[in-house]
Structure formats: structure tokens, C-alpha cells
Amino acid sequence: MTSLFDNYRLGGLTVPNRVVMAPMTRVRAAAGGLATPSMATYYAQRATAGLIVTEGVQPSLVGQSNPGTPGLHTDEQVTAWRPVTDAVHTNGGRIFAQLMHGGRVSHPDTTGMRPVGPSAVPAVGEVFTPTGPRPAPTPRALDTAEVAEHVLSYARAARRAVDAGFDGVELHGANGYLISQFLSSNANLRTDRYGGSVTGRIRFAVEAVSATVEAVGAARTGIRLSPGGTFWGVEERDIPELYTALLTELARLEPAYVHFEATTDEAALIGLRRVWPGTLIMNPVPPMGPKQTGRAEADHWLGLGADLISFGRAFIANPDLVERLRTGLPLAPVDEATYYQGGDAGYLTYPAYQYTA
């Protein structure tokens, strides 16, 4: 059976194990969406992962969802990221930037701009702003002619990511953000070629991946998906049909991987694994649920055909997660109060396992 600690050929990289650090928002960026020295330390501490995928990085200002998140749409942001990627590579790691356009999950208080989306339908719930949670505003529906600009924002950010030293990018097509909104049957009420039918609803995702592949190459491009996920109030009709069509189109582009979240039942995910001919990264437990991914869940999904396994919360409190999984050491608990508080506490203060005589 495949082991979590076997190496693997991922796009243009050979990774030393099948453990992926999942993208997790930590809101520690400086003003202007700049990466910081603390971020370099944070990611370098976790460089034993086969692959690190960063927190969501906005590809444009209007695409910024939360305050305190980093970007890849200015020259200054590229410069700020270089010490981060250098630190990871110095420690022997590999790192992809997750490109996350928030779409309707944003607020003018955060960006100075009205959010955009496939349709003028607000997200469900409150969004984060510099002054605290606020009701999600109604986005401005994109005109057909405008959609291409947002497709290209991923490709432009991908080029900047490569300039900043990243090994590749992951498009955030999950969790109710812009790509997910286009896939949705209730956030996307369009009647043009980007809505209506399954073919229309998958078009934005396919075009975004295609543009990114053209910009930086298929080996440097991945996408994360949450089939059936209901984040921020999105709904998806006909999940098997929708994702079979999407994966069939993506397969023609031969991206480095697809990254699934466990947002629908296992049987449906296994069916989609059979449809997808390429590398699959699997996040085996529902996001933000009561359970964290551990060795048992990882081995289970490797047995079901996943190629790599992503771990989220376990990586926050366990910078040496790969070694702990390899040797059966206990995992340290995470302090949820420090997820988004800023500063180095709960960010750089988790130690590697302390052996005693």
C-alpha cells in the first residue's frame, strides 16, 4: 500500500512525502498586503511538508476578502514574498501560493470597492472588516465583458507568484469564493454563457485554470474544490454532473493536481476520483468540523486512491507534523483563539516535539 511517507512526482517537483500543508487564513500580512518576516519563519518552520500551500492570496484588490491578508498584484507584494519562498527553499521545502478571489465575500470597508460576483446575490452571514464583522453586502453583478478581466487576474497573479519564487499556484475554487460562486446554482443566476447550464457554470473555473496554465505552465497550476460545500450560503445542484463535467474539462488542461475537500459524502468523492485521471490531493475531514485529519484518515484516503493528503489545523500547532506522523508522536492541540488575532503568539510559538530522557 502507498505510504504517507513515500515520495511522489507532483508536476515538475519530486516531493519527499505525501503530506501537504493545507491553505489556512492567518491574517498576519502587513499593510498593503505585504508578506512579513514572521510569515517567512512560519512557513519555513513547516518546510518538511511534501508541499506547502499558502493562505489565500488575493490576485487583485477587489478580490481581497479579509483584512490582513497578503496579495500578489503589486511589485511591492512580489518583493515581500521573496524572503518567504527563499526561507522555505533554504529549509528544503516546496511552496505553492493559493490564489483566492473573494468575489462577493468582501466588503467596501476592506477594499474601498464594492464586491463583485456572478450575480447581485449577497453571501449569507457576516464578513470580516477592519472594524469587525459586518453583514455581507450585495455584490455588483459582473457584465459579460468584464468576466475575462477576473479570469486573467489569476494568471497575472500566477506570473507574479513565480517571480516571487513560488513553485506554483493553487486556484481557490472552493468554499464559496469567486470560482465557487460561479459553480453555484443560487449565487450564479446568470443567463449568459457563464450561467444557467452546467456547461455555463463551469466555464469561469475552466477559463481561470486555462489562463493560469498558459501563464505559468500546467505543472505549476493546481485547483482546490469543495463539491457540495455550502460555505457563505452557496448551493450546488447536480453535484456529480457538475463536477464530472468540470473535471473532464480540467483534465484536458493537465494541471498538476486537483485538491478536494470532504464536503460531500465519501461515495460521491470516490466517484469523482474515478473521473479525475490526474493527481488528487485529498483533505479527508470536513473543514472547520470537530475532527482534525490524523494518520488514520490519511491512510484511509490513500487506500481510496488519493495521491497526497492535506492537513490543516494539525499543522498550526505542530510545525514538525511530518515527523510526528511518521513516529506516532502525539499531536499538540491548537489554540483557536489565536487563529486570527495577529502577532506571533499562536503563530510562531508552537515548538517541535520536546523529547525527554
Catalytic residues: 177
133: which 3 cell numbers? 464583522
For residue 123, give the H/E element and its range: none
The set of residues, in sequence order, having a beta carbon less than 8 Å from that of 244 and lying 6+ positions away, is 272, 275
Please write down the HEC assignment for all residues of 230-273: CHHHCCCCCHHHHHHHHHHHHHHHCCCEEEEECCCCHHHHHHHH
> 171 by DSSP, 3-state: which?
strand
CA nearest neighbour of 277 among 317, 237, 298, 305: 305
Q: Cell 481581497 appears where?
A: 64
Give one word for 272, left, alpha or beta, with left for phi > 0 and alpha for psi -120 to 50: alpha
**Cα dihedral value 297, 202, 204, 125, nearest 10:** -60
> Residue 159 in contact with residue 212, Cβ under 8 Å?
no
Sign of the torsion formed by the C-alpha atoms of 178, 308, 282 and 245: positive
- According to DSSP, residue 71 is labeled B
**Cα dihedral value 236, 142, 128, 346, nearest 10:** 70
Pairing of strands 19-21, 126-127: unpaired
Rounded (to 5) percent helix, strand, coil in the chain: 35, 15, 50
What distance in Å separates the CA atoms of residue 223 and residue 208, rounded to the nearest whole number? 10
HSE value, Cβ hemisphere, 13 Å, CA-based, for 328: 0
